[in-house]
C-alpha cells in the first residue's frame, strides 16, 4: 500500500481483516504457527509497516498505533496479535541498526519480516569485518513466517555484546513448540552454527537498549530513540490485554445463554456471577489505563528527544507487568466461573485462559522482578 495512513486508517484496516483472523484462530492453534492466509492478510493491510522507518518505505508511526493494532488483532486471534507484536518490535528496533541493515531488510519496498528474540542467548565472536555467531535461541515467535531473524548475542562469558540480523535460511529451526498456550505463534528454537554476520548487520547491545544508537537520530521522528526494554514490555502487555478483552466478551456471551443446573434459573441473573464479571471487567479496564499511561510517557519522550532515564524505564516496565497480571487475574476469575463446558479444547474461553497465562510469563513483564525494581525506586 502506497498511501501514508493515519492512526484511524490503521484501525479500519485491522477491523476489516479481524473477522478473517478470528475464523482462522483455531487453525493457527492447530498448525502451531500463524497460517499463511492470516499472515498474508496482515501483510497486505500494511500492519508490519507501522513501526518500520519511513526512509525504507515504512509508516514510522508512534507506538500507540502499533499497540492499538496489536490489542485489536489479539482480540480476533491471539497468535496473530502476538506475532504482529513481536515482529513490530523487531522492525522498530531495526530503526537503530545501520542504514545498510535497514535497506537490506526493507529496501525496494520489500515486506521484510523479522522474527527472533532480543535476549542474548547465543554468542558472537568478533572477526574481521563482522562476527561469527553460534548458539541456541528460544521463543522465536513467527519464525515460520519470517525472512530475517534478530538475535541477541553475548561474548564468551555471555555478557551482552551485539544484536544481529540473520537470514532465516542460515539458521536451523528446532520444532519444539509444544506448549500450554499461544501455540499458534510458532515460537520455536533456532540454532546458529558458526554463521558469519557482517558488522553492518549488527549493533552494540548497550547502544540499542539505551536508545543511544547514532542511527536512530537520522529519521524523520524521534520514535526510535525510546528504550527497547520499555517498549517491548509495554508491547507484550498489549497482546495480553487483547486476549483478556476477548475472554471477557466470551464470558458475557456464554453466560447469557447458561442456566443453573439445579434450578434452571438464568446464570446471568446470578448475583455472584454478576460480581465476578464486574471485578474482571474493572481489572481489564485498569490494565488498559496503565498501558495508555505508558503510551503517554512514550509520546512525551518523543517530543523531548531525550533518552529515557532509568526511573522512567522502571515505571513503564512495572505498569506493563502489573497490567498483564491484572489480565491474568481477570482471566482466572472468568474461567473459574464459566462452568464445566469450558474445560473442552473447542472452548474459546479455555483457549484465552491458556494464551493469557503463557503471554503473562514473558520475561519482559516478569511480575516479581518488575515489582522489586519499582519498589526499590520508590524507597530510595
Same domain membership, residue 312 and residue 287 = yes
Residues in the chain, pLDDT under 50? 1
Q: Give yes or no for a contact between 230 and 308, defined as CB atoms under 8 angstroms apart.
A: yes
Range of the structural domain that residue 53 is part of? 7-109
Domain closes at, from 59, 90, 109:
109
Question: pLDDT at position 1, please?
Answer: 43
Domain containing residue 323: CATH number: 1.20.140.10
In tens, the pLDDT along 202-224 reads 999 999 998 889 999 999 999 99
Beta bridge pairs of residue 164: 151, 202
Same domain membership, residue 302 and residue 180 = no
Domain closes at, from 64, 80, 109:
109
Contacts 24+ apart (CB under 8 A), 43-46: 43/111, 43/113, 44/1, 45/1, 45/13, 45/14, 45/16, 45/17, 46/1, 46/5, 46/10, 46/13
Same domain membership, residue 361 and residue 233 = yes
Whole-number Å distance between alpha carbons of 99 and 95? 8
**Cβ partners under 8 Å of residue 380, min gap 6:** none
Task: Look at residue 220 and tell me if it is in a domain.
Answer: no
For 309-344, the DSSP string reads PHHHHHHHHHHHHHHHHHHHHHHHHHHHTS-GGGGS
In tens, the pLDDT along 247-295 reads 999 999 999 988 877 787 888 999 999 999 999 999 999 999 999 999 9
Same domain membership, residue 192 and residue 139 = yes
Task: Look at residue 221 and tell me if it is in a domain.
Answer: no
Cell of 201: 548487520
Same domain membership, residue 128 and residue 59 = no
Residue tagged 541493515 (cell numbers)? 101
Whole-number Å distance between alpha carbons of 268 and 318? 35
Whole-number Å distance between alpha carbons of 199 and 130? 4
- Number of helices (H) and strands (E), helices first, in the chain? 11, 7
Domain containing residue 167: CATH number: 2.40.110.10
Same domain membership, residue 77 and residue 93 = yes
Same domain membership, residue 162 and residue 75 = no
Same domain membership, residue 231 and residue 146 = no
Domain containing residue 45: CATH number: 1.10.540.10
Nearest C-alpha neighbor of 74 from the set 294, 247, 331: 247
**Cβ partners under 8 Å of residue 53, min gap 6:** 60, 94, 95, 102, 106, 219, 224
Task: Look at residue 212 and tell me if it is in a domain.
Answer: no
Task: Provide the number of structural domains found in the chain.
Answer: 3
The pTM for the full model equals 0.96
Amino acid at each position: 500500500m502506497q498511501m501514508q495512513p493515519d492512526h484511524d486508517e490503521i484501525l479500519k484496516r485491522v477491523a476489516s481483516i479481524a473477522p478473517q483472523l478470528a475464523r482462522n484462530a483455531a487453525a493457527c492453534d492447530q498448525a502451531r504457527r500463524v497460517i499463511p492466509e492470516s499472515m498474508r492478510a496482515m501483510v497486505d493491510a500494511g500492519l508490519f509497516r507501522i513501526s518500520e522507518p519511513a526512509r525504507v518505505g515504512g509508516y514510522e508511526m508512534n507506538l500507540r498505533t502499533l499497540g492499538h493494532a496489536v490489542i485489536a488483532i489479539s482480540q480476533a486471534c491471539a497468535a496473530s496479535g502476538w506475532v504482529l507484536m513481536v515482529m513490530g518490535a523487531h522492525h522498530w528496533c531495526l530503526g537503530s541498526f545501520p542504514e545498510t541493515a535497514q535497506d537490506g531488510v526493507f529496501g525496494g519496498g520489500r515486506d521484510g519480516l523479522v522474527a527472533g528474540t532480543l535476549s542474548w542467548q547465543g554468542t558472537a565472536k568478533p572477526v574481521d569485518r563482522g562476527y561469527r555467531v553460534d548458539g541456541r535461541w528460544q521463543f522465536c515467535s513467527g519464525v515460520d513466517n519470517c525472512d530475517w531473524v534478530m538475535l541477541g548475542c553475548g561474548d564468551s562469558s555471555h555478557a551482552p555484546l551485539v544484536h544481529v540480523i540473520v537470514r532465516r535460511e542460515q539458521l536451523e529451526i528446532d520444532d519444539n513448540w509444544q506448549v500450554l498456550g499461544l501455540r499458534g505463534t510458532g515460537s520455536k528454537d533456532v540454532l546458529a552454527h558458526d554463521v558469519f554476520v557482517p558488522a553492518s548487520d549488527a549493533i552494540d547491545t548497550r547502544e540499542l537498549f539505551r536508545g543511544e544508537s547514532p542511527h536512530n537520530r537520522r529519521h524523520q521522528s524521534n520514535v526510535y530513540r525510546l528504550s527497547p526494554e520499555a517498549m517491548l514490555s509495554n508491547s507484550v502487555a498489549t497482546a495480553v490485554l487483547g486476549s483478556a478483552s476477548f475472554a471477557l466478551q466470551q464470558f458475557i456471551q456464554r453466560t447469557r445463554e447458561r442456566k443453573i443446573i439445579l434450578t434452571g434459573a438464568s446464570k446471568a441473573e446470578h448475583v455472584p456471577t454478576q460480581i465476578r464479571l464486574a471485578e474482571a471487567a474493572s481489572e481489564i479496564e485498569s490494565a488498559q489505563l496503565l498501558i495508555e499511561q505508558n503510551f503517554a510517557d512514550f509520546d512525551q519522550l518523543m517530543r523531548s528527544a531525550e533518552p529515557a532515564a532509568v526511573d522512567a524505564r522502571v515505571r513503564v516496565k512495572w505498569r506493563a507487568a502489573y497490567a498483564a497480571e491484572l489480565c491474568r487475574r481477570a482471566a482466572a476469575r472468568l474461567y473459574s466461573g464459566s462452568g464445566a463446558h469450558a474445560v473442552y479444547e473447542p472452548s474459546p474461553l479455555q483457549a484465552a485462559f491458556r494464551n493469557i497465562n503463557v503471554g503473562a510469563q514473558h520475561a519482559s513483564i516478569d511480575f516479581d522482578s518488575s515489582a522489586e525494581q519499582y519498589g526499590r525506586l520508590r524507597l530510595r
